[in-house]
Amino acid sequence: MKVICQGLELSDAVLKVTKALNSKNVTPILEGIKITAKNDSLVLFATDLELAIEKKINAEVLLEGEVVVPGRFFADMVKMLTNEQIELSLDDNLRLKLKYTDGEIEKQCFSVEEYPEIEKLSDCKYFSIVSKEFKDLISKTIFSVSTDDARPTLKGCLFEAEDFTISSVALDGYRLALVKKPLENKVDEKIKVIVPARSLSELSKFLDDSEDIVQVKIENNFLMVDLGHSCVMTRLLSGDFINYKQIIPNDFDTNVIINKDQFKSSLDRAAILSRGEKNNLVKLDIKEETLHIVSNSDDGANLHEIVAINLVGKDMTIAFNSRYLLDCTRVIDDEFIKINLNTPVNPCVITPCDKEDYLYLILPVRMV
């Protein structure tokens, strides 16, 4: 193998694929990056058997070939050569040489024969979605995913695709996020899969804010997104997701319409005081046409702010973990939102005022 490429492109590709490497892996070959020089491209591939990432860059291929390079070493080297033109060459003893303007580096590598073969999905179920919509779908739900190893199915987002709509659901026992987006194709057979949050986080970095159509393929226990220059494949989580529809209330006694930016700004300030408090407690006192936001700090500081609202229903005083409220208000784009309540101990549901494309449910904190 002998190939010439630009250091900046190589470094960017290596940085992306190393996200699929697992430092806890006890199999040395899985700590490596498979590089393949063919035609006019250099293809980099890494996997830990749960997540796989492939990235293709342009290159001048003088001699085709492939090898598995030690991942962390290779990443550390090429990130310091971003301004260089790099020549990669491999000898018969699997020693890879990196040549650049002022020097060269040699490193023993692994044979590709030891590397696991992962087939791309072909004839399978799929859905198509606009890139920016898919990216938005992920960012608006992933923050509610559980990190508790005792509940593995909640460490991912539930994707449900039916007809021309896909929904993503995430919950961690304290809050729930539900977001819906339109699809570009009709799904003939309902799709229901749980995608690991880690994989979605890496996938979102490959998606841009364009109108390009992305095809998402599902087969057996795998999901794959092929973007041409990049490909991300992940093993899906097995098991049954919680029946989230039973958790969401249908009727409410109190409905508050509020300017989202004003609400978020007040919460940001209140959260500074409540940071040291248990549960990051912030109290919402709803009276007539005003929402009073109250928070206290351990050192005796107090905050009290008033935000104008449109109230339908009963007055109420209720408390929340300020972080949970802020997490959802950060990703909502609407100017106004609706806060739906029943009692100080029942879930709060945040929705759009006139649409049904998202829903955030948050459990309150009991006040002493």
Q: Read off the pLDDT of residues 61-107 as tens digits, 9 standing for 90 and up.
A: 999 999 999 999 999 999 999 999 999 999 999 999 999 998 999 99
What is the pLDDT of the chain when averaged over all its residues? Answer: 94
Residue 277 banded pLDDT, cuts 50, 70, 90 = low
Residue 312 near residue 338 (C-beta atoms within 8 A)? no
Task: Give a yes or no: residue 368 inside a domain.
Answer: no
Cα(137)–Cα(156) distance, rounded to whole angstroms?
A: 13
* pTM for the full predicted model: 0.93
Task: Give a yes or no: residue 65 inside a domain.
Answer: yes
Same domain, 262 and 351: yes
Domain boundary among the residues 114, 134, 160 is at 114
Same domain, 194 and 260: no
Same domain, 108 and 131: no
Task: Give a yes or no: residue 313 inside a domain.
Answer: yes
Same domain, 268 and 235: no
Residue 341 near residue 251 (C-beta atoms within 8 A)? no
| Residue type, position 26, single letter | V
Same domain, 15 and 81: yes
Cβ neighbour number for residue 31 with a 10 Å cutoff = 19
- CATH for 13: 3.10.150.10
Domain boundary among the residues 53, 84, 114 is at 114
Task: Give a yes or no: residue 119 inside a domain.
Answer: no
Tokens standing for residue 163? 């007809």
Q: Which domain holds residue 96?
A: 2-114
Got the DSSP string for 37-104?
EETTEEEEEEE-SSEEEEEEEE-EEEE-EEEEEEHHHHHHHHTT-TTSEEEEEE-TTSEEEEEETTEE
Express each pLDDT in 184-197 by its tens digit: 999 988 999 999 99
CB-hemisphere CA count at 13 Å for 300? 0
Task: Give a yes or no: residue 367 inside a domain.
Answer: no
Whether residue 123 has pLDDT greater than 80? no
Residue 25 banded pLDDT, cuts 50, 70, 90 = low
Q: H or E element: which one contains 348?
A: strand 348-352
* 329-354 average pLDDT score: 97
